[in-house]
Amino acid sequence: KMPGDDWQQLANLRAYYGYMWGHPGKKLLFMGQEFAQREEWNDARALDWFLLDAGMHEGVRRLISDLNKAYRKYPALHARDCEPEGFEWLIGNDHSNSVLAFARHAPGAASVAVISNMTPVPRSGYRVPLPATGTWRERINTDAEYYGGSNQGNQGKIIAHPAEGGGWPAYADLMLPPLSTLIIVHDPDSTGRKGG
C-alpha cells in the first residue's frame, strides 16, 4: 500500500524497517510482515509462505534476520531507549533531500548512526555529521543485493574526518543508496576513544 513499482515498494519497506530498528522504542511486526506479505492478514487462512520463493520477499526476510542480530549485538540500539542521552539527531531538517540521520549511544559501547534516504534518488558525496572521528563500519545497508536492493553503498567502511568550527566533531561524505537506510557502527579503536 505504497507508491511505485514492486522494487520501489519493497525498497521503501526495507528502508523503513532499517529506520525502525535504529530508532528508540520496542519493535513490533504483525503476521507476515517479516517477509512482506502482500495480502492483509486473515485468521481464516495461512500466511503466504510461497512468497519466500521470490527473491525480493526472501530479501526482506533476510533483512529482518540481520536487523535482529544487529539489535542484539550493539547495545546502543537498545540500552538507552528511554533516556535522552541515548539518542541525538544528526540530520532532522533536510526536507529537500528527504534524508534523516541520528546517532544512538550506550555507556561503554560503540556509537551507532542511522542514515535514511527516503527518495529514489541515490546521493553521492552526501555529508553527514558524526559524533566521532575514525572508522565507521557499514553493518546494515538495506539496499544490499542480498536483501533485493541495487547494491549501492560504501563498501562496508567509512572514514569520519575532524570537523572544523562548531557543531559536530566529525563528518563523513557518504554514498546514500536510493530508498535505503544505512546502519553504521563506530570503531572506537580507530580513534583511541569510545564513540558515545
Mean pLDDT, the chain, as a whole number?
Answer: 90
* Segment 45-80, tens digit of pLDDT: 776 666 667 778 789 889 999 999 999 999 999 999
pTM above 0.85, yes or no: yes
For the segment 115-157, what is each residue's pLDDT rounded down to a tens digit?
999 999 999 999 999 999 999 999 999 999 999 999 999 999 9
Decide which of 40 and 182 is more confident: 182
The pair phi, psi for residue 37, each rounded to 5°, is -60, 135
Return the minimum-mean-pLDDT range out of 1-10, 25-34, 48-57, 85-94: 48-57
Strand pairing of 99-104 and 180-186? unpaired
The pLDDT-based confidence of 44 (bands split at 50, 70, 90) is: confident
163-191 pLDDT, tens digit each: 987 789 999 999 999 999 999 999 988 76
Any alpha helices (H) in the chain, and if so which ranges?
6-22, 55-73
Question: What residues form DSSP beta bridges with 126?
Answer: 174
pLDDT at 86: 95
Which 3-state string (H, E, C) describes 34-71? HHCCCCCCCCCCCCCHHHHHCHHHHHHHHHHHHHHHHH
pLDDT at 43: 75
